[in-house]
Structure 1
Amino acid sequence: MFDIITDLSRVDNTIEYNLEVSGIDREQLLVNWLTELLYLHDVKTLLFKDFCITDMRDNQLQATIHGESFIGNKHVINTEIKAVTYHGLSITQKDHQWKARVIFDL
């Protein structure tokens, strides 16, 4: 998501956040996770590029994320994401790999 918003090669890991989100199923968990990240970007003007999921279950996710605050003369916002949507959302598993499809409202 953040690679849509900005050039991640210009984002340094100067801050760390620990996040925990939950949902009634995997789809809601994914939407809640992305919505929380978008909230941190919109309200606290943060950009994230490294994500370490420390615990994940069917309805709960814990992660440590790294990035930095938006700096006007360093970062360029390429695309503003307005919202994470359920439209076209899919999560599939093949063998031991998971694949998700998410459509953002721009």
Structure 2
Amino acid sequence: MWSHFHHGADIGVRGIGKTLEQAFEEAAVALTAVIAEPSEIRCLETCEVRCEAPDRELLLADWLNALIYEMATRHMLFCRFKVEFQGSQLLGSACGEVVDIARHRPAIEVKGATYTELAVHEDRPGEWRAQCVVDV
């Protein structure tokens, strides 16, 4: 499950999952949903993403920024994500396709994930939340 939350001129992205990995994956879907409808994106090509940070919050920001970089440099949108943690490293993958302006109708460009409202918590047993505000 993912959602957006309002934050001034920017947009908050939030991922909720039964595990920390799922929360990060859903935060990535929320990131994509800022730009285009995730269900309209086909999983045709996968790219690998590696990040390392001293804590979960910074790792979330690095993960989302790595995805933003991959979208920009590959001219792609992603719809499916996989995250695995190994200590302070995140090993992830993103699957998607090259942007088709007519079909995807990208709404806005995300410039980056910020540290604003950056939080990664287990709200209750089996319910993880990963969120931050993205600059649009």
Q: TM-score, normalised by structure 1?
A: 0.89
Partner of 2:132: 102
Between Structure 1 and Structure 2, how many residues are aligned? 105
The counterpart of 2:100, out of the listed 71, 77, 88, is 71
Task: Establish whether residue 22 from structure 1 lines up as the match of residue 49 from structure 2.
Answer: no
Which residue, 81, 89, 109 being the options, matches 1:80?
A: 109
Identity %: 26
| Residue aligning to 1:60 | 89
Structure 1, unaligned stretches of length 5 or more? none
Alpha-carbon shift at residue 105 of structure 1 (Å): 1.0
Aligned-partner Cα distance in 1 for 2:100–2:42: 11
CA distance in 1, matches of 2:88, 2:63: 11
SS of the aligned residue for 1:74 comes to helix
Structure in which a larger fraction of residues adopt helix: 2
Aligned to 1:47: 77
Shift of 1:101: 2.1
Q: CA deviation at 1:24?
A: 1.3
Unpaired segments of 5 or more residues in structure 2? 1-30
> Scaled by the length of structure 2, what TM-score is found?
0.71
Secondary structure of the structure 1 residue equivalent to 2:102: coil
How well do the aligned residues superpose, as a CA RMSD in angstroms?
1.4
Provide runs of 4+ in structure 1 moved above 3 Å: none
